[in-house]
């Protein structure tokens, strides 16, 4: 049977300290909260010994950020899009984000379901090569304040073999992160 991941509460109970103390130590705030070096070492050593991994869902609920971006294109196997996506992913990763890629075909229903699904998961933003059939959903995203960058399919295809493809990816991520961090 798979072992459950340890929580802050589990660590606190094991070490007989408060959950708050464990949280401050694991979030790098021990010094500013005047937690002793001995206690800090004890918590960190124990967390390392059990291979503690923070609960990303709990972190995102607390911070309001998932550090996940969604990139939606018609066909991810299209060489011009796959090159762009690779640039985009590399830049996003350097900035601390993970990227989910979706091929939406030219299917409005599929596009709408994917947007709704990832909106519910509270991803930080979207890059979408939209079809006119989903314009109202794009408008809803914009009205909700969800960061979104729209990409013109013809622009990507024209830039396929030139250095401007990297520039497009960089401009997208910069635009999106400005919106995310507002």
Indicate the DSSP class of residue 6.
P
pLDDT at 1: 45
Query: Among residues of the chain, what percentage have pLDDT more than 70?
Result: 88
Per-position b or e across 92-102, b if 16+ CB within 10 A of its CB: beeeebebebb
Q: Which domains does the chain have, with CATH numbers?
A: 8-54 (1.10.260), 62-180 (3.40.50.2300)
User: 0.75 exceeded by the pTM?
Assistant: no
* Chain segment 123-156, per-residue pLDDT in tens: 999 988 887 778 888 888 888 888 888 877 766 6
Does 90 score more than 80 pLDDT? yes
């Amino acid at each position: 049977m798979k072992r459950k991941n340890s929580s802050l509460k589990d660590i606190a109970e094991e070490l007989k300290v408060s959950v708050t103390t464990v949280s401050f130590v694991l979030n790098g705030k021990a010094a500013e909260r005047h937690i002793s070096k001995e206690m800090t070492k004890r918590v960190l050593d124990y967390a390392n010994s059990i291979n503690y991994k923070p609960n990303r869902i709990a972190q995102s609920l607390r911070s309001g950020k998932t550090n996940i971006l969604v990139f939606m294109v018609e066909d991810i196997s299209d060489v011009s899009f796959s090159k762009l996506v690779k640039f985009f992913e590399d830049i996003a990763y350097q900035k601390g984000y993970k990227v989910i890629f979706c091929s939406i075909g030219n299917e409005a229903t599929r596009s709408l379901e994917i947007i709704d699904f990832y909106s519910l998961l509270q991803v930080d933003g979207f890059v979408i090569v939209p079809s006119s059939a989903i314009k109202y959903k794009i408008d809803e995203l914009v009205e909700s304040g969800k960061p979104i960058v729209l990409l013109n399919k013809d622009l990507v295809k024209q830039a396929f073999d030139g250095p401007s493809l990297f520039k497009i990816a960089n401009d997208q991520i910069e635009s999106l992160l400005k919106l995310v961090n507002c």
